[in-house]
Amino acid sequence: MSFNETQKFSSKILWFMRVSLVLTLLVLLSAFFLAGDANNGLILSLIALICVPVFLILEFCQLKTKIDAKGIDLNFRPFTRKYYAWADVQDAKLINYGFVGGWGIRMTLKYGTVYNTQGQEGVLLTMKTGKKIVIGTQRKTAMQAALNKFFKA
C-alpha cells in the first residue's frame, strides 16, 4: 500500500492567471494597434504563439506524489520529475511552510526547493547532503500515515 496524490492549481489561482494573461494580451494588442504598424498580423501571431502554450501549461500542470517503501516519487508535470530514495533522506516531517511567494516551484532559503499547487502544508525532506525539499499536500493526514509507515530515520 502506498500514498498517492494528484494535485492541480486551484480554480481561483487558474482564474487569476487567466485573467492576468488576457489583460496583458489586451494591453499589448492595444499598444500595437495604436502604433499603426504594418506588421500587426505578424505581431498577433507571435502573441498567440506565446499565450496558447501558457494557457495549456496552466490547464495540464499537475503535482503527483507517490510515497512507498522505497522513497518518494515527485512528478510536477510538465516541468520536472524527481525521485528521493529513503536511503538518501536524513529527515522527513510534515510542516506548515506558510506562503513561499506563490505556487509552482519556488526556491527559498529556509526550505530549499518547494513544489506546491496550493495550500501551505507539506513534507519537508532533509537529504543527507543537507539539501532541503518541500512537497506540498492537500492530504496531510494520509501523508503523515505514509511517512510513519515507510520512513525509518
Residue 87 lies in a domain: yes
| One domain for residues 108 and 76 | yes
| Cα–Cα dist 94/50, whole Å | 38
Q: How confident is the model at residue 26 (pLDDT cuts 50, 70, 90)?
A: confident
Residue 74 lies in a domain: yes
Mean pLDDT of 37-59: 71
| One domain for residues 105 and 144 | yes
Domain extent for 20: 8-60
Contact 4, 143 (CB under 8 A): no
Domain count, the chain: 2
| One domain for residues 38 and 87 | no
| One domain for residues 89 and 45 | no
| Cα–Cα dist 56/123, whole Å | 28
| Cα–Cα dist 2/65, whole Å | 10
So what's the pLDDT on residue 18?
74
Alpha-carbon distance values, 54 to 14, 17, 20, 47, 57 (Å): 11, 10, 12, 11, 5
3-state SS class at 17: helix
| One domain for residues 78 and 140 | yes
- The residue ranking higher by pLDDT, 133 or 24, is 133
Residue 72 lies in a domain: yes
| One domain for residues 50 and 106 | no
| One domain for residues 98 and 35 | no
| One domain for residues 119 and 56 | no
Tell me the percentage of the chain whose pLDDT exceeds 70: 87
Q: How far apart are the first and last CA of the chain?
A: 20
Rg (CA), the chain: 20
| Cα–Cα dist 36/42, whole Å | 13
So what's the pLDDT on residue 152?
83
What predicted TM-score, i.e. pTM, was given to this entire model?
0.78
Residue 1 lies in a domain: no
| One domain for residues 87 and 33 | no
Question: Of 60, 75, 100, which closes a domain?
Answer: 60
Alpha-carbon distance values, 95 to 91, 124, 127, 144, 145 (Å): 12, 7, 16, 10, 14
Residues 99-117: tens digit of each pLDDT: 877 788 999 999 999 999 8
Residue 98 lies in a domain: yes
Question: Of 17, 35, 60, which closes a domain?
Answer: 60
